[in-house]
């Protein structure tokens, strides 16, 4: 008998929209996905206008989706595969992991991970810690989210996870365009602007938000610290700061005052190429229009001075008293109703000395164990719980350990819903490293360039096939939940598993089942929710969306979760780790100022990494309805420069740096300086041949052919790589029609 259509409550994780949706299912088949009228987080554009949302059925049943476990049947990269059972996959992977571990030790096992919306952090940590791994991980975390949260933990004791609310009176966007990247935040920005808020944009590009801004500070790429510290100079010199808050709740103001003398608007105008009076106007507007909140983006986190920029950002917020007030910088704290990930039994014993051996922990200390051990006690003291702070390292150091065995060999890697051959700098070196591994396992929905050179490819369950419980890593004091809507297995059609079930399955074959007593992800969530007194199913149908009650100015009772109990204008944590305790401007290693000889041949500055609608980083290129909206990568170039180079709108062009060259289509754009171009990131071409060296076109148009992964040219504290200040040249591609050959 045919069943009626069931409507399930799920959470879409195809971008950072965090949208609750309704999934319509009949006889186990996905029919459609609709907007949930009861979902409180309404983003912009509305869900129904989102091309990903409208392509749900097309995505789920796409003929190119990986539906069964696959084992390489030829040479690595030859494109030959054999379908195998899950049991065989688990057994063989466990056997090969054991062989690698026996020969090289547990430190030789690492992983790459995509965004936290796709995978479960604690099961991943559980899996690798049980093996004795010091967590040698590759991710985009060092250029996305982890730097900004880590610096915030050091300076103010919590990360606000974007605080703009309808009551915010002054909005500052630092290298961010929420209209493309953060639908929920952008919706709040729209509401605040409607209520009369002012907006300041700090960005070399005229983004859509910059068009609406009261002040657009069009700075020279790589000079953000100089600009923000110049604003600090104005606020202090003109007495525009909140004296009472600074005196009571800021550490190091006495050291800051003489330090900012060097950042006068007149001097910094020479560095930033922003007129001094415009810097003053921005500082005065920000200081006099309260409450205010800042939104920093990847335009900050993809710079060599990332931690210094973020430090200056928090000094500004503290000086004007925008801390932990409605409409200002929210410091709400984690949701203590959930069990702390570190205390979920059975706990895995971890040798502290082992974690210290994580690759890069001696160099990039803020994102690794040295920084974490300085921060955690203070977070615990104030919040009663330490938010999830992933231990990540510089991708290139892991890549080099694979190739050179320094400081020790890395011989096995897992890639979990990520695509490092498209998203990590210097992908030529990444490719060489991944091909040389003894064991390479990829878990992904699609045969990505990485999957094509793997030994095993395992199909994960999508958000429609798995339960969801997400608390934003404990930053936002919000918890959302969704139920599995569609079966993850239909015999003969597909066999998907959650990442939890995949890691558990391998663990059981390794004889480590004692750490995995929960058979399913939902059972695991039931344990996480035990302090709340409800099961996951009950949470989805009773709460679904929970936000911790806001209690403003909590610091008046408990102080800030920092070593001094105050906002640290002068950072004791940075000082203890050997970094600048106050921000200074450092010229990036590859600009026309620092490298005038190279600039003679490569006279333009290349920006990359800006979010591109309708994609999400390297995803969605194989979905026809989405790809038609943006079929090829576009390079923004000023019309005057284009005319000088003989380039017309829509022409195919070469973009070349010291490291390689790629093709983009030219798009004439007046919203940048004449000597700047912007290339899109994350591109590969699923329609091109799979086998090496083609690898589905990853070499043709991907900006990470051009980027530099040199650890010595990265942010010294958080390992951010320089993807916004590269020197390049651009010239026409002759007789190219968009097809390879």
* 611 within 8 A of 177, measured Cβ to Cβ: yes
1.10.3470, 1.10.357, 2.40.70, 2.20.25: CATH of 6-60: 2.20.25
pLDDT attached to residue 736: 64
- 231 contacts 286 by C-beta, under 8 angstroms: yes
Contacts 24+ apart (CB under 8 A), 121-126: 121/341, 121/388, 121/390, 121/473, 122/341, 122/344, 122/388, 123/499, 123/500, 123/503, 123/504, 123/524, 124/416, 124/499, 124/503, 125/341, 126/348, 126/503, 126/515, 126/516
Name residues whose C-beta falls within 8 Å of residue 65's C-beta, 6 or more positions apart in sequence: 59, 445, 446, 459, 494
CATH topology of domain 70-138+347-460+491-517: Rossmann fold (3.40.50)
**20 - beta bridge partners?**
11
Distance (Å, whole) CA 493 – CA 509: 26
**For residue 741, what pLDDT is reported?**
38
> What torsion, rounded to 10 degrees, do the Cα atoms 665, 671, 672, 677 define?
-10
What's the CA gap between 671 and 664, in Å, rounded? 18
Q: In the chain, which residues have pLDDT < 50?
A: 740-741
Nearest to 503 by CA among 536, 458, 535: 458
Measured between alpha carbons, how far is 602 from 76 in angstroms, rounded to an integer?
36
Query: What is the β-pairing status of strands 652-657 and 676-679?
Result: unpaired
Strand-pair partners of 23: 8, 33
pLDDT, residue 740, reads 47
Strand partners of residue 29? 26
CA-based nearest residue to 411, from 139, 704, 131, 143? 131
The reported pLDDT for the residue numbered 123 is 86
Pick the CATH number of 162-329+552-577 from 3.40.50.300, 3.90.79.10, 3.40.50.80, 3.40.228.10: 3.40.228.10
Question: What CA–CA distance (Å, rounded) separates 195 from 30?
Answer: 41
On whether the 596-732 domain is CATH 2.40.40.20, my answer is yes
Question: Which of 47, 99, 130 has its CA nearest to residue 512?
Answer: 130
For position 656, what pLDDT does the model report?
98
Whole-prediction pTM:
0.96
Structure tokens, 422: 């498209």
- Is residue 19 within a helix (H) or strand (E), and if so which, with residue range? strand 19-26
Can you read off the two tokens belonging to residue 257? Answer: 């005052």
pLDDT tens digits, one per residue of 350-374: 888 888 899 999 999 998 889 989 9
- Cα 714 to Cα 62, 177, 288, 610, 661, distances in angstroms: 39, 23, 36, 19, 21
Report the mean per-residue pLDDT for the chain. 93
Percent above pLDDT 70 for the chain = 97
- DSSP class of 340: P
pLDDT tens readout for residues 188-245 = 999 999 999 999 999 999 999 999 999 999 999 999 999 999 999 999 999 999 999 9
Domain spans in the chain, listed from the N-terminal domain onward: 6-60, 70-138+347-460+491-517, 162-329+552-577, 596-732
Report pLDDT for 389. 72
């Amino acid at each position: 008998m045919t069943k009626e259509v069931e409507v399930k409550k799920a959470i879409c994780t195809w971008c950072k929209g965090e949208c609750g949706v309704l999934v319509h299912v009949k006889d186990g088949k996905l029919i459609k996905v609709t907007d949930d009228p009861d979902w409180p987080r309404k983003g912009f554009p509305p869900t129904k206008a989102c091309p990903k949302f409208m392509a749900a059925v097309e995505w789920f049943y796409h003929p190119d989706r990986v539906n069964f476990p696959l084992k390489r049947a030829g040479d690595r990269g030859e494109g030959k595969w054999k379908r195998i059972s899950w049991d065989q996959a688990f057994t063989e992977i466990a056997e090969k992991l054991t062989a690698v571990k026996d020969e090289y030790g547990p430190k030789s096992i690492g992983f790459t991970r995509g965004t936290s919306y796709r995978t479960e952090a604690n099961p991943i940590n559980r899996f690798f810690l049980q093996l004795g791994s010091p967590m040698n991980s590759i991710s985009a975390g060092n250029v996305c989210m982890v730097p900004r949260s880590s610096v915030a933990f050091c300076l103010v004791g919590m990360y606000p996870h974007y605080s703009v609310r309808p009551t915010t009176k002054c909005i500052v966007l630092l290298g961010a365009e929420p209209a493309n990247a953060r639908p929920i935040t952008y919706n709040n920005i729209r509401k605040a602007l409607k209520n009369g808020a002012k907006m300041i944009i700090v960005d070399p590009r005229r983004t859509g938000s910059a068009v609406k801004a009261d002040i657009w500070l069009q700075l020279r790429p790589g000079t953000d610290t100089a600009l923000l510290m110049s604003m600090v100079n104005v606020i202090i010199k003109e007495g525009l700061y909140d004296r009472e808050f600074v005196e009571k709740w800021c550490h190091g103001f006495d050291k800051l005052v003489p330090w900012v003398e060097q950042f006068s608007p007149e001097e910094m105008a020479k560095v930033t190429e922003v007129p001094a009076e415009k810097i003053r106007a921005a500082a005065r507007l920000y200081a006099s229009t309260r409450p205010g909140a800042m939104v920093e983006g990847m335009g900050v986190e993809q710079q060599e001075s990332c931690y210094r920029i973020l430090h200056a950002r928090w000094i500004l917020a503290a000086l004007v008293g925008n801390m932990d007030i409605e409409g200002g910088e929210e410091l709400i704290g984690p949701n203590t109703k959930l069990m702390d990930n570190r205390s979920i039994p059975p706990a895995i014993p971890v040798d502290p000395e082992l974690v210290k051996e994580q690759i890069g922990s001696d160099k990039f200390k803020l994102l690794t164990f040295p920084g974490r051990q300085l921060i955690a006690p203070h977070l615990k003291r104030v919040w009663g719980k330490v938010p999830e702070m992933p231990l990540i390292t510089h991708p290139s150091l892991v890549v080099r350990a694979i190739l050179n065995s320094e400081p020790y060999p890395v011989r096995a890697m897992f890639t979990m819903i990520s695509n490092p051959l498209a998203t990590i700098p210097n992908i030529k070196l990444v490719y060489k490293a991944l091909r040389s591994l003894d064991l390479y396992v990829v878990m992904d929905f699609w045969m990505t360039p990485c999957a094509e050179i793997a030994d095993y490819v395992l199909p994960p369950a999508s958000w429609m096939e798995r339960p969801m419980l997400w608390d934003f890593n404990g930053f936002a004091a919000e918890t959302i939940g969704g139920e599995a809507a569609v079966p993850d297995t239909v015999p003969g059609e597909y066999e998907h598993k959650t990442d939890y079930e995949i890691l558990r399955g391998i663990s059981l074959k390794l004889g480590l089942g004692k750490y995995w007593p929960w058979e399913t992800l939902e059972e695991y969530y039931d344990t996480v929710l035990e302090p709340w007194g409800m099961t996951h199913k009950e949470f989805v149908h009773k709460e679904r969306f929970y936000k911790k009650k806001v209690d403003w100015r909590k610091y008046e009772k408990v102080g800030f979760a920092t070593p001094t109990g105050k906002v640290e204008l002068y950072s004791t944590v940075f000082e203890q780790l050997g970094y600048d305790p106050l921000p200074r401007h450092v010229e990036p290693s590859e600009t026309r100022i620092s490298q005038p000889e190279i600039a003679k041949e490569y006279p333009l500055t290349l920006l990359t990494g800006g979010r591109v609608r309708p994609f999400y980083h390297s995803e969605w290129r194989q979905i026809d309805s989405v790809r038609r909206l943006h079929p090829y990568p576009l390079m923004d170039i000023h019309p005057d420069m284009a005319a000088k180079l003989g380039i017309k709108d829509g022409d195919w062009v070469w973009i070349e740096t010291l490291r390689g060259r790629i093709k983009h289509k030219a798009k004439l754009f007046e919203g940048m300086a004449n000597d700047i171009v912007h290339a899109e990131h994350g591109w590969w071409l699923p329609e091109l041949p799979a086998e090496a060296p083609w690898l589905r076109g990853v070499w043709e148009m991907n900006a990470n052919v051009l980027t530099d992964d040199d650890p010595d040219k990265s942010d010294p504290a958080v390992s951010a790589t320089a993807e916004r200040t590269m020197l390049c040249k651009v010239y026409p591609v002759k007789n190219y029609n968009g097809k390879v050959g």
